[in-house]
Chains A and B, each alone.
Chain A
Amino acid sequence: GAGVSQTPSNKVTEKGKYVELRCDPISGHTALYWYRQSLGQGPEFLIYFQGTGAADDSGLPNDRFFAVRPEGSVSTLKIQRTERGDSAVYLCASSPLAASTDTQYFGPGTRLTVL
C-alpha cells in the first residue's frame, strides 16, 4: 500500500514569508508526527496528533510554528515569518495508534530552504 507522502519535496522561500508543508499519512493511521532534521543532526520532535487533536506540541520552537489535522488524516505544518534558521528537512510520520511501542512510518521529507 501507499506509504506516507509529503509535499512539496523541496521548498525555497525568502525570509519573512509564510509556508505550508503537507503530510498524507498511511490510510487508517490514528497518530501523526512532525519532526525536523537539521544538517548533521537526528530528527527532533515537533508535534504529534492523535486523531484531529494535537496531543503533544511541546517540540514546536515558537509561536511561528503551527500544525493542523482537521479531519484526522492529512496534516499541514505552517510556518509564519520564516527565518534562515528554519531551514531543515521536515519529516512526517504516522503510526496505527499512538503507543510508545508502535512503529512510526516516515515520509521522504520536505526540504525547506529559507534565503
Chain B
Amino acid sequence: AQSVTQLGSHVSVSEGALVLLRCNYSSSVPPYLFWYVQYPNQGLQLLLKYTSAATLVKGINGFEAEFKKSETSFHLTKPSAHMSDAAEYFCAVSDLRANSKLTFGKGITLSVRP
C-alpha cells in the first residue's frame, strides 16, 4: 500500500525566507505525486504534480518540487515566502494501481512572520 509522510505539523518562516516543506512517500510502483494547498475556509487547490515527466516540477505561486526516487522524496520549496503563503499544505500520492484515488499525508501548517 502506498503512504505519505509529512514530518512535523507546523513550519514557521519569516517573510522573504526560503520555504521547505518535506514529503516522503512509499509506493511499490512508480508514483504520481501531488502538492495541494488549503487556505482557511477554502477547498484544496492543486499547487503542482509529478506524473513521471520532468523530475523538477514548477507550480503556481512560485512553488516547485523535485522528485527524487533514490530518497523517495518530493519536497516543496519556494525561494521567498510571502504572507499570503500562510496555509496548510498536503502532499499526496497515487499510482496506476490505486484507481486514481489519492493517499494524503497529515499536512503541514505554514506560518509566515512579518
B-binding residues in A (CB < 8 A)? 3-4, 31, 33, 35, 40-45, 48, 55-56, 59, 91, 93, 95, 98-109
Q: Which of A35, A41, A98, A107 contacts B100 (CB 8 A)?
A: A98
* Known A-B contacts A3-B43, A4-B43; A101 and B101 likewise in contact (beta carbons under 8 Å): no
Contacts of A104 in B (CB 8 A): 46, 102
Count A-B pairs with CB separation below 8 Å: 68
Taking CB atoms and an 8 Å cut-off, the chain B residues in 59-110 that contact chain A are 90, 92, 94-96, 98-107
How far, in whole Å, are A102 and B51 apart by their CA atoms in the complex? 9
Taking CB atoms and an 8 Å cut-off, the chain B residues in 5-27 that contact chain A are 6, 9
Contact B41 A100 (CB under 8 A): no
Contacts of B36 in A (CB 8 A): 106
Contacts of B34 in A (CB 8 A): 103
